[in-house]
Amino acid sequence: MLELYHADTAVCAAKARLVLAEKQIPYQGHLLNLSRGDQFAPAYLALNPNGVVPTLVHDGAVLIESTVICAYLDEAFPAHPLRPADPLGRARVQLWTKREDTIHDTVNSFTNLLFFRPALLARPLAERQARIDAIPDPNRRAKWWDILDHGIEARPISEALVRLARHFADMEQALAAGPWLAGAHFSLADTGLVSFFNRFTLLSLTGLWSERFPLLTDWFARCQARPSFAVAIGDFISPAVVDTYATSSAPGWPAVRSLYHDLLEQMKV
């Protein structure tokens, strides 16, 4: 029996759902409400002490970390493979999935800045304190406070933009030999990034790539056109949620764009 503990808009949960959809693997889903704090419930923390989604349970064995889960699914269910058969091709895919993990926190940083921060600032200090204190990882708590207190000037934001610019430039170069990141076939190299790009889209940040990286822009459009995108991502995000993200985040794009372009000039990307 395959069970997935996940959440509707959570990017790492969407990564796992995308692999399940591409490989046509049936599963039993357990949908957590992150706003309500389901991820911090003792029963869930017993499965995943990090208090994040997704968590996969396969015949009683518990797996955490989305990149590990996706690789496991491709290994355990060989049909519709998402990695090449040859060692070099698999190494290329693994390199992209390794790099993918290094930019996950940039998605988190911008979600905090543009979506959660405005709502949290409207709440009493005691509520803000309780929400952030519930985060198990002290480094994640510290980042939350930094972004909450300093907004666009918080150090994690400029650091995130620098890493994203480098990542986008490398994706653009790889896609010149495409059509997919690891070559001729859609693979785990691609699946792991699709939900990140979708979150940036919800946050009104498509300009991060559309204004400078045309091959990357085309790649994401083709990812969105795959049937798995609707099944794993689109169907879990209601029009009301899309509107809520846009209303909250769109006003922040001009300041992000200005900082981003200044950094791109400094980096000569």
pLDDT tens readout for residues 134-143: 777 788 888 8
| Predicted pLDDT at 133 | 82
Point out which residues pair with 62 in neighbouring strands: 57
| Predicted pLDDT at 134 | 78
Count helices and strands in the chain by DSSP H and E runs: 14, 4
- In whole angstroms, what is the distance from residue 219 CA to residue 73 CA? 24
What is the model's pTM? 0.93
> CATH topology of 2-76 equal to that of 87-267?
no
| Predicted pLDDT at 8 | 95
**Residues in the chain with pLDDT < 50?**
none
| Predicted pLDDT at 128 | 81
Residue with tokens 């995308």: 18
Domain at 87-267: CATH code: 1.20.1050.10
Residue 102: burial class (beta carbons within 10 Å; 0-12, 13-18, 19+): exposed
| Predicted pLDDT at 136 | 75
| Predicted pLDDT at 139 | 85
| Predicted pLDDT at 122 | 85
| Predicted pLDDT at 135 | 78
| Predicted pLDDT at 125 | 83
At 118, the amino acid letter reads P
Domain ranges (residues) in the chain? 2-76, 87-267
So what's the architecture of 2-76 in CATH? Answer: 3-Layer(aba) Sandwich (3.40)
pLDDT tens for 49-86 read: 999 999 999 999 999 999 999 999 999 999 999 999 99
